[in-house]
Every structure is written in structure tokens, then in C-alpha cells.
Structure 1
Amino acid sequence: MSQSTTSSVVTDASTAKGGGPHVTARHNRLSGGFFRFLVARFLLIIPTVFILVTIVFFVMRATGDPISAALGGRLSPEELHRRIHAAGYDRPLIVQYFEYLAGLLRGDLGTTLTDNQKVSDILLRYGAATLELSLLALIIALVVGIGFGRLAARHRDRTADAGIRVFAILCYATPVFFLGLVLKLVFSVWLAVLPASGRSSLESEMQFGRLVSPTGLYIVDSLQLGDFSVLVDVLKHAILPSLALGLLTAGVFIRLVRTNVISTYTSGYVEAARSRGVSERRLLSKHAWRPALIPIVTVMGMQIAMMLAGAVLTETTFEWKGLGFILADYLKKRDFVAVQGIVILIAIIVSVVNFVVDVVSALLDPRVRY
């Protein structure tokens, strides 16, 4: 039997078993090498978080002990010294550092100095609000960024493209707090159609008090209540802050999508498909879009990190009581124990998000080797 015949038989056999080249390629992508890559990327989270925790700890201590920073002007010298000694802040810094690491391994982030609350309780209470705002803002960023970016690429160097590029520049160049103030002025003051602050009205807050196991995610909790009016109220309160935060990231996505779609749109394989009579719409949606998606997914991790940073200003502007809002409050109070715990949580979230982005990029990009 000739070599070509043997090859044909092998191919037919694999096809008959339901395999084929696509299944074989997929199997190779999900082979043991991929899982080793997955474990290696996941383990990188540990040193990343360790370095961030170390930096945050020593930066917070650069101005002295936390008790002096938070309460120094309100206590007598004797009482201040007593509290510093009781908290152990007069011991060597390296001893405090290792004790703090030991507490982190037990899940103990410390107790706030100004209101004597466990930092872990604060994270649970306010973290859901930031998560809800970030998810809504990310949805807006993806819908606006991908939609407008594809439209700009399709109408390259035309009026629509020029208008979208100007819009993108305005989105990522405008400070989020200024955009928030403009949105409040237009929709809350002039048009009076949307609330200017808060996560819900007082009536809705009272309804949430009836829940046995609230999640802290007001959209989910309103669905638990089964009250459509509460859901509408929550969504109306969420529109302006999520729009302000989402448009900040959408501007970056628009430019990124446009640039990468144009790059792949003019590549050789797309030109070959065009010469075979494939429609421009199909070229964009089937041939040029997926390769352009790879760098977009890669950059998305950094943009989510920027979104969490922008959440501090957004939540303060709209009095959205999440981690950003409470972080700004504790910064004003100089409660470094609380600030340290919140910053560490954000660092962990960013590390995990970047891990997920690495995995998705590896699955999308056939050039990644394990």
C-alpha cells in the first residue's frame, strides 16, 4: 500500500470515529501541555500577591504607625502610647510584617482603627456594590467599544470613522469624576429623569431588609424580592455611575478594536476570501474578527485594573457605597489598616483577572506554545 493510500485510510478512520482535523487540533490545544501552562500561570498569582502585599505593608508604615496616623491629634500622648503598645506597633517592623503575613494566611486582615470593625467584614459588605458596578460598566464598555470599533473599521477614513474616533478620544481623555458630574447635571438636574446618587431609593432599601439572605448585589436581590418596581429603581440608580465608568474603558476598546480589525481586514487571507466573492459583512464577522479579538482580550486585563481604580472616583462622585467609596473615606480618616486591607483585595482581584485573561488568550491564539 502506498504512503498516500495509508494517509487516506488513517484520515478516513479518524473521521469515521467522529474525529477529524478540527477535533485533533482541539485535543492538542487541551493537552497536558495546556494544563501545565494553566497551573504555571495560576501559581504566578502567589508571588505577585506576595510582592504587592509587601509593598503595601511597608508603604503604609512609611509615615509611622497606623494609630498615630489615624488618632494622633485626638488622643493624649499617654493614651496614644498605650494604644500603640497594646496593638504591638512599637515592636520591630519586620516582626509586625511577619505577624501580618501570618494573619493573612488565617484570613485575618486586621481591625479598623477609627470604628473598630473587622476589615474582612467591610470587604464583604461593600465588595458586592463594587462588583455590581464593575460588571455593569464592563458590559457597557464591551458593547460600546466593540460595536463602535467594528463600525469604525468597516467605514475606515469616512465620516462615521472620524466621528467615532473623536468620541473615543473624549471617552478616555475625560476624567471619570468630571464625566460623572456632567452626566448628573444633564440627566439628574436638567432633565430630572435619573437619580443623582446612591444605589437605590429609601423604599427599596426597606424592601431589601425583608430578605433572609441578601447577596449585596441589588439587581440579584431585587429579583429575589420579585418586585419589578424595585428592579427598575435599582437599574435607574445604576445607569449614570456605570455609564461614567464604562465609557472610560470603552474609549480604549474602540481604538483597539478599530486598529486590530483594520490590520486583519487588509491581511492576505482576507484578500483571498474577498477575491472568491465573500461579502464584506461576512469578511468582517467571520474572517477578520477573531484574529483581531486576541490583542483585545490581552489588554482587557489591564483595562479591568484601570476600571477598579476608576471605581474609587466614580463611587465617590455618585455616593455609590462600594469599596472605592469606603476606601476614600478611610483615606481621609488616615485609617491605614482599613486602606491596606482594601488595596490588598483589589490587588488579588487584578491578579486573578489577569490569570483568566492569560488562559482565554491562550485558547484563542494558536501561536501560544505550552
Structure 2
Amino acid sequence: MADIAQAPLPVTPAAAPAARKARGGTTLWRYVLVRFLLIFPTIFILVTTVFLMMRVTGDPITAALGGQLTSAQLAERIEAAGYDRPLIVQYLEYLGQIVRGDFGTTLDGQPVTSVLLRYGGATLELAFYALIVAFVVGIPLGMLAAAIRDRWGDAVLRVFAILCYATPVFFAGLMLKLVFGSWLGVLPTSGRASPRMELLLSRLDGATGIYTIDAIRTGNGALIGDVLAHAVLPGLALGLLTAGVFLRLVRTNVIGTLATPYVDAARSRGVSEFRLVRKHAYKPALIPIITVIGLQIAMLLGGAVLTETTFEWMGLGYQLSEFLKARDYVAVQGIVALLAVIVALTNFIVDIIAAFIDPRVRY
């Protein structure tokens, strides 16, 4: 009798949806918590890797100024910066600085955080345009390739996707500059805006550093057009890199969805292949796109270094290349560490969005 009294009551059909909803909500919040906690070891590993890589060549002062200062001046600089202390002490101090938001100081005395704030908006703007290109080019072409699968057009699109992914971003940028800048003369090939427009933006109160937003705030049509024209070629060069990934991913997932029973049922009713792709297979195929956006953000930030250098786009990537030329490894270390933090946070946000859209991700 005691066992019978303690047995759990059966869930009635009416209460089943509520029970499933409660379990799903609990699972979601558990998933969010786990993904959030994973941010910290990820950032720790990335920051530690950056620190050790920057110390492979010795202390940053000697690496940057070894041939420019006397031995006494060099020793004085090394002692003042604390690079003569044990490596573990430097490492612990470095972690403490990162926790406080201090990413170091450049050779010319600028805090790295001020460099990040000044040029970070430009890199963010470039990544935004690149993602637009990736979505506009990769997703429709991926759907088209799935609709005409195993035909010559599908083969052409697959080769195009491989070329987009495999072509070095700086080479793609140079070709775009040659065609649209030198041969056709229809688009600017360097900078974020023309000199006169740059002057107008520099005088704007409360400027964000993101030229598109600042230009829209002014309401000046010529300024907006100039900023957008300068963003076309860099956005294409960087965006096509990710478009190739999206094209192949959408194609594969749409073809997989088209083989499901509910699509076969629609096909048996005489629904055309293009309508099947557009109405039945499109949305399920977009879920994997969301899950890989975090990885593509890392690729975009890496490609931004070469893209910004090719187009003289004054962002973090361009400044990173300049610091590398100057052997300013403290600045390089700070920028790379911040980019690592951004990538980790972006992956967390993308994972949570994917979990809300697709409940299967939570389990």
C-alpha cells in the first residue's frame, strides 16, 4: 500500500503539453547556463595562447627596439615594462590586466583600448557589409543549386562556391579593384570615404566611428552615397569568402530536406521543384546557417586584416598590420586578445539564438 501511495500520478493528456513545455524551458535555461560558463575557459585558453605566442621571440621591447637602442637603454626599458621578471609573474599580471579591461600600451604611449575604440567601428562596419554579401549571394544561389541539383548549372555553382572559399581575400580584392576601379572606373578602390566627406564626418558631434550610421544621421544624400560606394568592393571581397560556405551549406541541407516524407507527399500532389524549395525546404535549411555564423565571424575578422590592408580601410585589421610592421607586439597582443573575446561572445550569442529556433540543439 505504501508503494502504491508513493507512486507518481500519471500525466493526463490535457497536462502533457504543459509538462513538455516545462521540461523544454528547463532544458533551454540549462543549455544557456552551460554555454555561458564555457565562455570563460574558452577566453582563458585563447588569451593564454596569445600571450605565449607573443613571448616566443623574447620580450616585446627587445623584439621591437633591439637594433635602435643601446644595451643600457634597452635594459632600462625592459625593467620599466617588467619584462625582466619571471614569465609566470608576467602572465599573472597580464591576466589581471585583461580582467580589468587593460590591453596594454603601444610603443608610442597610446592605450590599446583607445586604439580599439577608435578603429573598432570600421571593422564592425566591414564585417556587417560582408555578412550582407554572404547572405544575398550564398543563400539564393544555394537554393538554386539544390533545385537544379546534378545538372550542369549545379556543377557551375559548386565550382563558384569553391573558388569563393579558396581564393585569397587579398587577391579577390586586387581583382575587384582592377575591374571596377581601373578598367570600369565606377567604384572607389581605397578608403572609407572621399577626403571631403571624411572631413564632414570628422566634424560631426557624437560620431560613432561607423560611417554608415554617421552619414545617415547627417541626412546628406551625397555623403551616404559616397560612404556606401566605398564599402562595395571591400564588402564584396570579404563577403564572397563566406558566401561560398553558405552556398554549399544551404545546397546540402535543402537537398536533405527535399528527401523527407512530407516533401515527397507535396511532390506527389504535383508541386513544382522550385516551389518545394521555396515553400518547404527553405526555412529548415537556414537553421545550420545560424549555427555556423559564429565560426564565420572569426573568419571575417581574420580576413579583415588582409581586406583592410588591400583597400586602406582604416580599421582594426589595418592597424594590426601596421603594428606588426612596427614590431609593436604589445599592441598586437592586445588587439588579438580582444578579437578572441569578441569571437567567444559571438559564438555564445549564436548558440543561444540557434537553441531558441531549433529545440533539437538543446539536447
**TM-score if structure 2 supplies the norm length?**
0.92
Deviation at 1:230, TM superposition (A): 0.6
Describe the SS at the equivalent of 2:77: helix
Paired residue for 1:305?
298
Task: Rate the CA distance shift 1:271–1:25 in 2: closer, same or farther, 3 A.
Answer: farther
Q: How many residues align?
A: 352
Match of 1:215 in 2: 208
Structure-2 residue corresponding to 1:226:
219
Q: Paired residue for 1:60, among 40, 43, 54?
A: 54
Is 1:356 aligned with 2:356? no
2:120 corresponding residue in structure 1: 127
Alignment of 1:239-318 (within 5 A): 239-318=232-311
Correspondence 1:204 to 2:197: yes
Calculate the aligned-residue CA RMSD, in Å.
1.9
Name the CA distance, whole Å, in 2 between partners of 1:82 and 1:353.
41
Greater shift, 89-98 or 261-270, is seen at 261-270
Residues 29 and 363, structure 1, Cα contact 8 Å, conserved in 2: no
Partner residue of 2:8?
none
CA distance in 2, matches of 1:230, 1:25: 56
2:70 alignment partner AA:
S
Partner of 1:179: 172
Opposite residue 210 of structure 2, the aligned amino acid is: L
1:305 deviation in Å?
Answer: 1.0
Instruction: Tell me the CA shift for residue 29 of structure 1.
Output: 7.8
Matching residue within 95, 115, 118 for 2:89: 95
Whether the aligned pair in 2 keeps the contact of 1:141 and 1:249 (CA below 8 Å) is: yes
Which segment is superposed worse, 351-360 or 245-254?
A: 351-360
Q: Structure 1, residues 235-288: CA drift from partner, whole Å, max 9, x if none? A: 111000000000011011111111110111122221123224445444223322
1:202 maps to a residue whose letter is: P
Provide closer, same or farther for how the CA distance between residues 162 and 25 of structure 1 changes in structure 2, counting only shifts above 3 A: farther
Could you tell me which of 295, 313, 318 is aligned with 1:325? 318
Deviation by residue 1:199-226 (Cα, 9 ceiling, x = unmatched): 0011111101221110000000001111
Mapped partners of 1:58, 1:159: distance in 2: 50
Find the aligned partners of 1:32 and 1:175 in 2 and give their Cα distance: 45
Query: Contact 1:200 / 1:233 at 8 angstroms: preserved in 2?
Result: yes
Q: Does 1:46 align with 2:40?
A: yes
Q: Percent identity?
A: 64
Amino acid at match of 1:154: A
The verdict on how the C-alpha distance between 1:81 and 1:219 changes in structure 2, with shifts beyond 3 A counting, is: same
Q: Which amino acid aligns with 1:299?
A: V
Amino acid at match of 1:105: V
- Distance in 2, matches of 1:321 and 1:25, equals 54
Name 2:9's counterpart in structure 1: none
Measure the CA separation in 2 of the matches of 1:241 and 1:229. Answer: 20
Please show how residues 60-209 of structure 1 align to structure 2 within 5 Å.
Answer: 60-113=54-107, 115-209=108-202
Q: 1:365 to 1:29 in 2, by over 3 A?
A: farther
Structure 1: runs of 5+ lacking an equivalent? 1-5, 15-20
Instruction: Tell me what 1:35 maps to.
Output: 29
Q: Deviations over 1:302-349 (max 9, x none)?
A: 122111111111011001111111101111111111001110111111
Which amino acid in 1 is paired with 2:39? I
Which 5+ residue runs of structure 2 have no aligned equivalent?
A: 1-11
Q: Using the TM superposition, name which of 120-129 and 280-289 deviates more.
A: 280-289
Q: Partners in 2 of 1:290 and 1:205 — Cα distance? A: 41
SS at match of 1:212: coil
